[in-house]
């Protein structure tokens, strides 16, 4: 029976050097939302035709994203490695717009906050689409899953 979803997700804490309260909140929300509803279907055949659910660990290793895919039991099924070069600009832009957004929340009018939030969502959506494209042929994810995974990839890149 197929159950193509993530039931647990971890970030490599050694990768994360620093994060503030805003980033920590984004991380918690992304993980909560991801676990509440996601579509995550690796396209490689696994032993005993295992087809989910999955435990996933994200980490950065030698400048590349490593996605460890585990069975529900914890058995490592595969590690998928993605180059991060194509994500550098979206990550940088996302950090910049998030910083503007968090500042706007504290000091700006509702209309100004909405404008910054629309820009933030646009960058986030473009990055999620890029992630979906990079995973094509390896792991099938829906758009919302890609958005939340991108948020977590950004958390791995915070350097303080």
Q: How far is CA 48 from CA 6, 55, 71, 133, 152, in A?
A: 19, 17, 11, 28, 30
* Pairing relationship of beta strands 54-61 and 6-11 according to DSSP bridges: parallel
Rounded CA-CA distance 14/59 in Å is 9
Confidence band for 17, pLDDT divided at 50, 70 and 90: low
Read off the pLDDT band of 160 (50, 70, 90): very low
| 19: confidence class by pLDDT, cuts 50, 70, 90 | low
pLDDT for 29 equals 85
Sign of CA dihedral 28, 31, 34, 35: negative
Q: E-assigned strands of 35-75?
A: 40-42, 54-61, 64-71
Is residue 28's pLDDT more than 90?
no
The predicted structure's pLDDT at residue 58: 92
| Alpha helix segments (H runs only) across the chain | 21-36, 88-107, 110-135, 143-155
35-89: pLDDT as tens digits: 999 999 999 989 888 998 999 999 888 888 899 999 999 999 999 999 888 888 8
pLDDT over 90 percentage in the chain: 46
Q: What is the arithmetic mean of pLDDT over 144-153?
A: 92
Distance CA(120)–CA(102), nearest Å, equals 11
| Encoded tokens for 122 | 């646009």
Mean pLDDT calculated for residue range 138-147: 95
Q: Which two tokens stand for residue 32?
A: 């909560």
Which sign, positive or negative, has the C-alpha torsion 157, 21, 37, 2?
positive
């Amino acid at each position: 029976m197929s159950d193509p979803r993530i039931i647990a997700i971890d970030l490599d804490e050694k990768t994360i050097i620093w994060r503030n309260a805003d980033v920590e909140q984004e991380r918690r929300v992304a993980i909560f939302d991801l676990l509440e509803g996601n579509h995550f279907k690796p396209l490689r055949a696994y032993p005993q035709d295992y087809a989910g659910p999955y435990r996933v660990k994200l980490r950065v290793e030698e400048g590349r994203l490593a996605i460890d895919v585990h069975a529900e039991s914890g058995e490592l099924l595969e590690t998928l490695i993605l180059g991060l070069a194509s994500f550098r600009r979206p990550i940088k832009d996302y950090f910049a717009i998030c910083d503007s957004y968090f500042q706007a929340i504290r000091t700006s009018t509702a209309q100004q906050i909405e404008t910054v939030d629309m820009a933030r969502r646009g960058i986030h959506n473009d990055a999620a689409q890029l992630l979906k494209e990079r995973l094509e042929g390896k792991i099938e994810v829906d758009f919302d899953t890609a958005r939340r995974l991108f948020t977590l990839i950004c958390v791995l890149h915070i350097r303080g």
